[in-house]
Amino acid sequence: MKILTVISGKGGTGKTSLVASFASLVPDRLVLVDGDVDAANLSLITGAREFESHDFSASKVAVVNPETCNSCGLCLELCRFQAVAGDFSIDPVACEGCSFCAFACPREAIEMQEKVSGRWFVSRTPYGALVHARLGIAEENSGKLVTIVRNKGQELAKASGKDYLLIDGPPGIGCPVIAALSGADAALIIAEPTIPGLHDLERILSVCRHFGITAAVCINRYDLGPEQSKSIEAYCLKEGLVMVGKIPFDRAFVDSMVQGIAVTEYTGGALLNRISGVWDHFLNVAEQLSG
């Protein structure tokens, strides 16, 4: 099984639409993972139906047992985060889960409990299982949640003998991206033909290289910035990066998203051929260069 991660240096490059399209080209041969847990939307484009869900807990919160507490005030005095109220109850939003109060409480009246910060799901799509998640608003630890969905996807793909684990990576270059790239056989970088687009490509490429992951590049909406597209192509040539294709802007991407289907199922012809060509080329790169 090949683990393939689709990434971009920033959001809004059309990455998720392309992941859904690639999945539609190899139905029943893959498991999908949506690694963008802060703004997951692969489930919307693939018409996913949820059949399993789990709490995600990455931190703890202090909870006072009022029956044991004798109102000595020590916790209020010690908490550096002003999470303890005057009545010695604890504000779960302000609590950082450091456990200091629980250790210090002379009455052992404080318990550290798991804090649910999100949920993760396994859903059915027309192309295969999709593992995705939703992180609570203002919650952190999205890297840990990405690792959970990625590992679950890998477990499902292995158990069901699939050919590919296809991961829609989060935008940026932070910890969640590294979690989505972990163990990947190859990464497909979706670049956009803008001036910042080249800089984003350079940044995400440096992450791939740092972790020794084979990367290929596809320019999306290349015709909206012909000069910048040329600059990206020149950069790829200079860096020895394989350009697996260029996809033009097409209104069908938006229309298919509104309908909740992959663009490859919404339209055929030249666009389908382009996307199919990118996928095939990328698979070849993954086969040949990742070993």
With a CB cutoff of 8 Å and minimum separation 6, the contacts of 212 are none
The smaller minimum CB distance to ligand SF4, of residues 53 and 68, is found at 68
**Residue 216: what are its φ and ψ, rounded to 5°?**
-125, 165
For 203-212, give one letter per residue: b (16+ CB within 10 A) or e: ebbebbeeee
Total binding residues for ligand SF4 by CB under 6 A? 27
Applying CB under 6 A, the span of 106-114, 115-123, 187-195, 231-239 interacting with ligand SF4 comes to 106-114
With a CB cutoff of 8 Å and minimum separation 6, the contacts of 234 are none
Residue 167 near ligand SF4 by CB under 6 A: no
Q: Which long-range contacts (CB under 8 A, 24 or more apart) does 197-202 make?
A: 197/9, 197/13, 197/225, 197/228, 197/232, 198/228, 198/231, 198/232, 198/235, 199/9, 200/8, 200/9, 200/10, 201/9, 201/232, 201/235, 202/9, 202/235
CB of 136 to ligand SF4, least distance (A): 18
Which of 37, 75, 148, 216 touches ligand SF4 by CB under 6 A? 75
Residue 63 near ligand SF4 by CB under 6 A: no
Which of 62, 173, 213, 219 touches ligand SF4 by CB under 6 A? 62
Residue 64 near ligand SF4 by CB under 6 A: yes
Q: ∠ CA 241-153-38 to the nearest 5 degrees?
A: 75
Residue 73 near ligand SF4 by CB under 6 A: yes
Q: Are 64 and 45 in contact (CB under 8 A)?
A: no
Which of 1, 26, 63, 74 touches ligand SF4 by CB under 6 A? 74
Which of 44, 72, 195, 234 touches ligand SF4 by CB under 6 A? 72
Binding flags for ligand SF4, 77-96, as an x/- string (CB under 6 A): -xx-x-xx---x-x----xx
Residue 58 near ligand SF4 by CB under 6 A: no
CB of 137 to ligand SF4, least distance (A): 20
Residue type, 184: A
- Distance, first Cα to last Cα, the chain: 12
Dist. CA 21–CA 125, nearest whole Å: 12
Sign of the alpha-carbon dihedral angle for 197, 203, 207, 208: positive
Q: CB-side exposure of 146: number of CA atoms within 13 Å?
A: 26
CB of 54 to ligand SF4, least distance (A): 25
CB of 161 to ligand SF4, least distance (A): 46
Residue 100 near ligand SF4 by CB under 6 A: yes
Helix (H, G, I), strand (E, B) or coil at 188: strand
Which residues, in sequence order, are bridge partners of residue 61? 113
Residue 19 near ligand SF4 by CB under 6 A: no
The smaller minimum CB distance to ligand SF4, of residues 90 and 133, is found at 90
Residue 99 near ligand SF4 by CB under 6 A: yes
The smaller minimum CB distance to ligand SF4, of residues 110 and 271, is found at 110
Which of 27, 49, 51, 70 touches ligand SF4 by CB under 6 A? 70
The smaller minimum CB distance to ligand SF4, of residues 7 and 84, is found at 84
Residues of the shown chain interacting with ligand SF4 in the complex, contacts defined by CB under 6 A: 62, 64, 69-75, 78-79, 81, 83-84, 88, 90, 95-101, 105, 107, 109-110
